[in-house]
Amino acid sequence: MNEKPICGRCGSILVVEGAPVTPMDISDATFLREVLTYSGSVLVDCWAPWCGPCHAVEPIVEELAAKYAGGIKVTKLNVDENPLTASQYNIRNIPTMLLFKEGKLIQTLVGALPKEEVERHILAVMRMN
């Protein structure tokens, strides 16, 4: 299984310069630009500072952001500070992770899931044509 984006023709690993290796904080104001109009895959980690399970998932999200840098954009959305986006995507429980491909919501993952499960969903979205 490849962890980085690969060329569809030759199969070589693509290098994406400047890809963030840590999750990017996003807001209601930046959601459109950073998620909905982004041409690739995006993971949105919906969380709140008071949420214990959110803090438990945080190292997993950070590890996956570094591992798949250039293959998927990993973002964090504080639902307390960004109620419009949280409401629009019906976020009722946190942590919730939203997986987007080319601006379309593909998958919603609810709860503190193991890294392997989140990674499986990331790879499935990255492989979608």
Phi, psi of 59 (to 5 degrees): -65, -30
Q: Choose, from 7, 10, 46, 54, the residue flagged as catalytic.
A: 54
Please count the CA atoms within 13 angstroms of the CA of 109 that sit on its side-chain side. 23
Task: Count, in order, helices (H) and strands (E) of the chain.
Answer: 4, 5
Q: How far is CA 66 from CA 35, 70, 72, 75, 98, in A?
A: 18, 9, 10, 12, 18
The yes-or-no answer on residue 7 being catalytic is: no
The yes-or-no answer on residue 46 being catalytic is: no
Active-site positions read 51, 54
